[in-house]
Amino acid sequence: MTRGRVRWGRLVAGAFVAALLGLLAAAPAQAAGYRYWSFWDRDGSSWAYASQGPGTARPDDGAVQGFRFSVSEDSKDAAKPRGAGDFDTICAKTPAEDGRKRVALVIDFGTPGDAPDGETPPEPRTACARIADDATSADAIAAVAKPLRYGSNALLCAIADYPKSGCGEQVAGDGESEGAEKKASASEESGSGGPSVGLIAGVAAIAVLGAAALWQARRRRG
């Protein structure tokens, strides 16, 4: 074997390894998520992730707030409460009282994919909490959805005894949630669910290198 062929073989092998590493880097990583109750404020016709925890937030009379149990990486991909959040509808049968305020609550226990092993989420529900004027959102949820369970760091772990165990635990990256389902659906609709540009480029590079190596070998044999 000539030195030229040795050098060419090494070049092809090195390029192949580089392309293979590029393929591996292009593969999507599965990020871990957390299973917990998220807290939301109704902002007009949509939900906004609350800027305070329920233990410190003090909603005004007529406020609409939501709690959603799900698996998510962070607040940006957290699943929102499902269903309408209309104060007049939720609190229609709860008359106003002097010195007290009414807060409409949407309580969404999540999907079976969000649930801990062996547990089944109850159906989403709404409630109207009539509480003292200076009461917090934690007081509001306690008034309508006991028993509650809190962790040692004051994290709300369970509403209406759901879930029965666990509190903000980390779960595997393949844990299902509504947020993840929406991302997958959007990816399919936009056509981005197929191979990535990096993946296609890597495959093309390997194919080109293979063809070049074959051509060079035949040329030298000839």
67-94 as b/e: b if 16+ CB within 10 A: bbbbbbeeeebbbbbeeebebeebbeee
- 4: pLDDT strictly greater than 80: no
Rounded average pLDDT over 148-167: 95
Rounded average pLDDT over 174-181: 41
- Is residue 161 within 8 Å of 107, Cβ to Cβ? no
* pLDDT higher at 6 or 32: 32
For residue 49, list its beta bridge partners. 40
Q: Name the H helices within the chain.
A: 3-26, 87-90, 137-144, 178-190, 197-221
Count of beta carbons in the 10 Å neighbourhood of residue 144: 19
* pLDDT higher at 95 or 30: 95
* pLDDT higher at 16 or 58: 58
The encoded tokens of residue 157 equal: 């772990």
Distance in angstroms (rounded) separating the CA atoms of residues 145 and 36: 16
- Is residue 100 within 8 Å of 209, Cβ to Cβ? no
What is the pLDDT at residue 135? 98
Distance in angstroms (rounded) separating the CA atoms of residues 180 and 193: 13
Rounded average pLDDT over 118-142: 98
How is 85-96 classified by DSSP, letter by letter? --HHHHTTTS--
Count of beta carbons in the 10 Å neighbourhood of residue 185: 11
* pLDDT higher at 212 or 171: 171
* pLDDT higher at 81 or 27: 81
- 214: pLDDT strictly greater than 70: no
Per-residue pLDDT tens for 68-115? 999 998 888 899 999 889 999 999 999 999 999 999 999 999 999 999
* pLDDT higher at 135 or 28: 135
- Is residue 93 within 8 Å of 53, Cβ to Cβ? no
Query: Which of 28, 44, 36 has the alpha carbon at shortest distance from 70?
Result: 36
Q: Which residues have a Cβ under 8 Å from the Cβ of 197 and sit 6 or more positions away? A: none
- Is residue 151 within 8 Å of 163, Cβ to Cβ? no
Per-residue pLDDT tens for 141-151? 999 999 999 99
* pLDDT higher at 201 or 216: 216
Cis peptide before 122 (omega within 30 of 0): no
Distance in angstroms (rounded) separating the CA atoms of residues 177 and 129: 28
